[in-house]
Copies of this chain bind each other. A is one copy, B any other.
Amino acid sequence: MITDSQQIDRIIDCFGFLRRKDPTFKRHFFQAASVVHLDKPQSICHEGMSCTHLALVISGTARIYKLGENGREITLYRIGRGESCILTASCIISNTPFPAIAVCEEALEAVLIPTAEAQNWMSRFPAWQEYLFGLVSERLAEVITVVEEIAFRRVDHRLAAYLLKRAESDSSRVIKVTHQEIASDLGTSREVISRILKDFENRQAISVNRGSIDLLDIQALSDQL
């Protein structure tokens, strides 16, 4: 149960579906909700885990990924403010085990809703139901994009796009990231990333330093796409 009115305002700010004129739902929501904090290298859900709570992210980010037998990883998607680990939601609704791994990436603050309530509200509150459905749909589209990328696009092109996107979202020309992290995001191996980065560097498009990459020539990278 959450009672602190300041915190309630913050949460409503985050989750648009609470802003509707349905005081009943709002009451139920804050009645059942609790807030948790998770720190950086913490695992949230394991493969095959059945979920007891649904987590709605207030701040921070989590990364949802698949782990291959060989130890390689691939990021399926990330979730941030206002979103929710919808795989959890999906498991909740369809009672299937969680098919991936979720870890906290930037320190998380989240609202926890017990599975039973989350299910119950689905049929009682349209706002809640729309919220969850919208999230699953969005994830489905995102994961389909991932399929497309790994099935058809060359790694060097994907890498160039990755660097550009990263730079944009950090609004900085230098990106703090290791080759291994990139490889895990793109679903390839570290050596492959290192080699392509070296190649970009030889062509003066970037400068590679330990733990960071400086985008020297945005245009050259864009041309790679």
Residue A87 contacts which of B72, B74, B140, B152 (CB distance < 8 angstroms)? B140
Instruction: Note all chain B residues with C-beta closer than 8 A to A145.
Output: 99
- Total number of A residues with any Cβ neighbor in B under 8 Å: 41
Among A136, A146, A187, which residue has the most Cβ atoms of chain B within 10 A? A136
Find the B residue at minimum CB distance from A100. Answer: B144
Minimum CB–CB distance for A187 against chain B, Å: 4
Instruction: Note all chain B residues with C-beta closer than 8 A to A91.
Output: 137
Residue A133 contacts which of B99, B132, B141, B144 (CB distance < 8 angstroms)? B132
> For the complex, is A66 an interface residue (Cβ under 8 Å from B)?
yes
Minimum CB–CB distance for A141 against chain B, Å: 5
Number of chain copies forming the complex: 2
Which residues of A in the span 115-149 have a Cβ within 8 Å of any Cβ on B? 122-123, 126, 129-130, 132-134, 136-141, 143-148
Among A130, A133, A140, which residue has the most Cβ atoms of chain B within 10 A? A140
Since A93-B130, A96-B137 are in contact, a sample of 20 more A-B pairs with Cβ atoms closer than 8 Å, ordered by chain A residue number, is: A66-B148, A66-B152, A68-B153, A69-B152, A74-B147, A76-B147, A90-B136, A90-B137, A94-B134, A122-B126, A122-B133, A132-B133, A133-B133, A133-B136, A136-B140, A140-B143, A143-B144, A147-B187, A150-B151, A152-B187
